[in-house]
Structure 1
Amino acid sequence: MAAIPRDVSEKLITAQRSLFEKGIPAIILMEGGKSAMVDRITSEVLGTLEPRGVEYHHFKADGKRGSPFSSMEYITKSPARGRISFYDRGWYSDIIDCIRKKRCDEGEKLIEVSRMERYLIENGVVIVKIFMDETEDAAEKHADSYPIIIDRDCGYLTDDLDHRDMGISDEEVEAMLSASNTVYAPWDRVDVEDFEITAENVARIIARRLEQRLQYGIIPEECPVKEQYHNPREDADLTAEAKDYDDALAEKQSELAEMQCRMARSKHSLVVVFEGWDASGKGSTIRRVAGALNPRGYNVIPVKAPTEEELSRTYLWRFCTNLPRPGRITIFDRSWYGRMMVEAVEGLCTETEYCRSADEINAFEKALVNSGATLVKIWLEISPQEQLKRFRAREEDPMKSWKITEEDWRNRSKWDVYDLYVNSMMKQTNTPWAPWTVVESEDKKYGRLKVLDTLIDSMKKALD
């Protein structure tokens, strides 16, 4: 006999169908309680839904998951439009593990996950947060009412610990829940009782929260543009030229290779972002960087127009899926900053999405840095005169003519507009934890050497 009443099951199925039709993704986060009981409750709810529209993800809070970027991993598992993801444990179990091992600052971690929740919600994801309140007495009293409870070690199937097993007091958990009980992502608390009662209560909460989102939608908040940081483009000297280029290049590439070797033996990773004007030398500079590296330890990600799959997710999703594991390097040839430049200029995002983007990107980069990544953001600077010279040279060279398109000329015609957006981007995102390095690339050789120096210095700082 099903534990969830028919009327509640019908509400869940109706809500799932409406989410699918409207293209709204949802995350159901299950925290608290013993894994054996919580898993049976989750299984019962899953059994009422259309399985083709549901995903299940278990996150083990041990600080040893495949990616060092905890917030990023939750984003990579977030559902596409119209789908529902059940998270068996999640970012709050990660905070409890953080408290236990003293491996991070609890307050800063709470801020990080709060920003992640806000990012997901404001980008259209419904989040239902359920905490299972289970006392030791209740666990013993109601255990016999739960079907198929295996009271022995089943490896990864039963290896979760609740906060008491981890030496965390009820008071510490209450403080965490209180601090994270926000207006936009509130907690629903469920007392663990007999199986049928508990399953029904959880199902009713999920149905109610989904119905509320479907009925009321998202109320957008004001997000004024905050140009609060120095613009490093103002300090660029485009007259800078390279000296002894060949010898300097060989020396710096050798040093970069040594730094890669050191990083490969560490828990650190390197994320490099290349942005800049068309024809500013991104491709040739990346080739000089990659030429110094062992291909086993790096990836170059060329960022183009998003695919249909990427468009079905929140906009940072496609970047989170390409972040490096410890000891590795990822180089982005263009990046998430497209939201603040081409998408804004060409009307590919809404004004609200644009004005939110700086805060979302700053929080994203803060999480990267806090999780052990070294983030290097490079802007290649050239003059409009030098760009025109390079465009014409490409047109005249049969080996390079494929690199110049009508879109390049169209973008050039909007130089002044792009210039305004780039300056605003710098003033909004040149943060202390993820500053921009402006590389003068009027002389390509000088620019390449400065990029190599920047990467070497950043890696030394992280590893020393």
Structure 2
Amino acid sequence: MLQEFVFGQERRTERECKSLLKVRREELAALQQRIKQAGLPVIVLLEGWSASGKGRTIQSLIRDLDPRFFRVLSVGPPTPAEQRWPFLKRHFECIPEGGKVLFLDTGWMEETVRAYLRGDLSDQEYQKRLESINIFERQLTAGGYLLIKIFLHIDAQCQKERLDGLAADKETLWRVNDEDRRQNKNYEKNLAVFDSYLEATDKPWAPWKVIDSTVAPKANLAAADWVYQQTTAALESRPQPVHPEYHWDMAPPLPLAQADLTQTLEEKEYRKQLKKCRAKLAALHNELYRKKVPVVIAYEGWDAAGKGGNIKRLASALDPRGYEVLPIAAPTRDELARHYLWRFWTRLPKTGHIAIFDRSWYGRVMVERLEGFCSTEDWQRAYDEINEFEKELVDSGMVVLKFWVQIDKDTQLARFNERQADPAKQWKITEEDWRNREKWDAYETAINEMLARTSTTFAPWHVLESVDKRFARIKAMKIVIEAIEQAL
């Protein structure tokens, strides 16, 4: 894309471009209202060479826009704190809500390319990063986002002149660093890597626009034209991402009907094993922190199956400074306005810490599916999206554990009645619990499909037989212990 690029193709004069740009800005301002009314979330990503004019172009694009409905974010290198999370977390958590526009002054491209050129990423790691970025962008666009990608291109001589000009003025000297100079000195090497990146991530649903940024007014007009064209097209209709044909390496699932719910543990033996497991988990938690290994544990299960008590016993063995229990309720207004995985990306644990999710991203293929909170296309697509999400976490070094807490229908009814009769437990039972119970068979079908399609070898499901809660608690703790020992 870049190596065959021809500079100087725009024949209009700078004066003509400035006149046309004024009109286009007015059209963009009007378009912003349509974006807001349609609830369309838009990300405008500007990448390019150092000194290519990314800041100038953003300033031109936003000049006539309503500042209440857009945000400009300059993305620098990841901080030491940000490096304690998976690569995509800081990019996922800044995505805008529906009806708003995010302008990014560089993003995941510059971070990736610079890391590769520095030697921080091997060839294999670089290819994996490109795959992760393509998944990230496809998931966003499939989830209703418009991603507009612009690369500002200049030649080596133009870049050198601009860097020299910035360095000659004490007011702008700070904008030139050693890495910028190295980029110019090794222009051809950087050009080849930029080109490979653009070609690998140029997709019909998120195409790149390479703009000649040698002359500012011409570049600004080209950028405004591209944003206008992409946005108006998106408000009409957009090409849907092509979902890849995955062949996940699956772990054999256990259909719920085959779970042995007769398994029990006597009180005395339970107390003995609980004490032993707590001591082991406490020691392992210290080692997790020292070796900076993060852990995610997701609990799903029937209402009244005993998730809360199971989580309580597991957490009782852990250092409270190094874990968090995250009860997941219905999404808030802010969460509904973003991609459904956003609220989980933003809650991931940093290295050495544990996050325990009481309910999780699997709501997409259970309650949201059965209650009609998302389209059929959305929940059917979610199986692979969830597997992609969990694979990204595992590949980043995270331990991912998933528990389904299983009981039978009669046990649930007995526990519901017990809660209803006990004033101290009545807060645990709601009308929604009774309504969900009426859909037991439909939920069981959905759960079995979920287990079959998302129990992968890298993040398998574990069924906890919880008619005897003591048995389920010890089983969960032993599984966590074994998984952490393997990771360490």
Report the TM-score, using the length of structure 1 for normalisation.
Answer: 0.91
Secondary structure of the structure 1 residue equivalent to 2:458: coil
* 1:391-424 Cα shifts (integer Å, max 9, x gaps): 2222222221221222212211211110100011
Are 1:318 and 2:343 matched, yes or no?
yes
Residues 200 and 158 (structure 1), Cα distance of their counterparts in 2 relative to 1, 3 Å cut: farther
CA shift, 1:210, in A, is 1.2
Structure 1 residues 188 and 225: CA distance shift in structure 2, 3 A: closer
Letter paired with 2:232: E
TM alignment of 1:144-183, pairs within 5 A: 150-153=171-174, 161=180, 164=183, 169-183=190-204
Q: State the distance in 2 between where 1:264 and 1:149 align.
A: 45
Are 2:103 and 1:83 equivalent residues in the alignment?
Answer: no
C-alpha displacement at 1:356, in angstroms? 0.9
Distance in 2, matches of 1:128 and 1:246, equals 58
| C-alpha separation in 2, matches of 1:307 and 1:261 | 35
User: 1:460 aligns to what?
Assistant: 485
Corresponding letter in the other structure for 1:426: L
Which secondary structure does the structure 2 equivalent of 1:274 belong to?
A: strand
| Partner residue, 2:54 | 38
Q: In the TM superposition, what whole-angstrom CA distance separates every residue of 1:119-138 from its partner, at most 9, and x where no partner exists?
A: 11111110001112222212
**In 2, Cα distance between the equivalents of 1:262 and 1:56?**
40
Work out whether residues 145 and 195 of structure 1, in 8 Å CA contact, stay in contact via their aligned partners in 2: no
1:294 to 305, 319, 324: 319
Q: CA, structure 1 residues 402+151, in 2 after alignment: closer, same or farther (shift >3 Å)?
A: closer
**C-alpha displacement of 1:192:** 2.1
Corresponding letter in the other structure for 1:313: R
Q: Structure 1 CA distance, aligned partners of 2:336 and 2:203?
A: 28
Residue 113 of structure 1 aligns with which residue?
A: 133
Measure the CA separation in 1 of the matches of 2:170 and 2:385: 42
Shift of 1:35: 5.1
What do residues 97-147 of structure 1 show as CA deviations (whole Å, max 9, x unaligned)?
Answer: 44231266222222211111111111111000111222221223567999x
Aligned to 1:201: 222
1:8 matched to 2:24:
yes
1:28 aligns with 2:47: no
Q: Secondary structure at the match of 1:304?
A: coil
Counterpart-to-counterpart distance in 2, 1:98 and 1:61? 10
1: distance between equivalents of 2:324 and 2:181? 38
| Corresponding residue number in structure 2 for 1:283 | 308
Q: What CA RMSD, in Å, does the superposition of the two structures yield over aligned residues?
A: 2.9
Q: Name 2:254's counterpart in structure 1.
A: 232
Distance in 2 (alpha carbons) for counterparts of 1:123 and 1:239: 43
1-side partners of 2:415 and 2:45: how far apart?
52
Conserved in 1, the CA contact under 8 Å of 2:300 and 2:359? yes
How far apart, CA to CA, are the structure 2 residues paired with 1:163 and 1:189? 22
Question: Distance between the aligned counterparts of 2:366 and 2:79, measured in 1?
Answer: 36
Question: Residue 298 of structure 2 contacts residue 356 of structure 2 at CA under 8 Å; is this kept in 1?
Answer: yes
* Distance in 1 (alpha carbons) for counterparts of 2:182 and 2:455: 39
Partner letter of residue 129 of structure 1? K
Residue 226 of structure 2 aligns with an amino acid whose one-letter code is: I
Distance 1:152 1:142 in 2: 11
Q: Which amino acid aligns with 2:228?
A: A
Match of 1:184 in 2: 205
Distance 2:155 2:241 in 1: 39
State the distance in 1 between where 2:102 and 2:171 align: 25
The Cα of 1:189 is off from its aligned counterpart by 0.4
1:303 to 298, 322, 328: 328
2: CA distance between counterparts of 1:256 and 1:409? 36
1:203 Cα deviation from its structure 2 partner: 1.9
Q: In the aligned structure 1, how far is the partner of 2:260 from the partner of 2:179? A: 56
Check conservation: 2:296, 2:349, Cα contact below 8 A: yes
Are 2:288 and 1:269 aligned? no
Look up the match of 2:34: 18
1:345 aligns with 2:345: no
The answer to whether the 8 Å contact 1:340/1:425 transfers is yes
Partner-residue secondary structure (3-state), 1:398: coil
Distance in 2 of aligned mates of 1:40 and 1:308: 34
Residue by residue over 1:132-184, the C-alpha shift from the partner in whole angstroms, topping out at 9 and shown as x without a partner, is: 222221223567999x9954236xx9687598369754223212211111111
Shift of 1:249: 0.5
Q: Which amino acid in 1 is paired with 2:219?
A: T
- Tell me, yes or no, if the aligned pair for 2:151 and 2:211 is still in contact at 8 Å: yes
Partner of 2:402: 377
CA distance in 2, matches of 1:131, 1:41: 11
Q: % of aligned pairs identical?
A: 33
* Matched residue SS, 1:399: coil
| Partner residue of 2:72 out of 56, 60, 73 | 56
Q: Distance in 2 between matches of 1:199 and 1:437?
A: 55
Query: CA 1:115–1:138 in 2, change beyond 3 Å: closer, same or farther?
Result: same
State the distance in 2 between where 1:187 and 1:122 align.
17
For the residues of structure 1 that align with 2:170 and 2:410, how far apart are their CA atoms?
Answer: 73
Q: 1:227 to 1:384 in 2, by over 3 A?
A: farther
1:269 deviates by 1.0
Deviation at 1:262, TM superposition (A): 1.4
Task: Name the residue aligned to 2:121.
Answer: 102
**2: distance between equivalents of 1:162 and 1:69?**
29
Matches of 1:165 and 1:256, distance apart in 2: 52
Distance in 1 (alpha carbons) for counterparts of 2:178 and 2:476: 46
2: CA distance between counterparts of 1:158 and 1:240?
65
The equivalent residue for 2:12 is none
Q: Partners in 2 of 1:165 and 1:284 — Cα distance?
A: 60
Amino acid at match of 1:60: G
Distance 1:36 1:129 in 2: 15
CA contact (8 A) 2:21 2:224 kept: no
Select the residue among 426, 436, 443 that pairs with 1:401. Answer: 426
Structure 2 Cα separation of the partners of residues 126 and 48 of structure 1: 20
Are the equivalent residues in 2 in contact too, given 1:138–1:192 (CA < 8 A)? no
Give, in angstroms, the shift of residue 310 of structure 1. Answer: 1.1
Question: CA 1:70 to 1:193, structure 2 compared with 1: closer, same or farther past 3 Å?
Answer: same
Unmatched tracts of structure 2, length 5 or more? 1-14
1:49 counterpart letter in structure 2: L
| Count of aligned pairs | 461
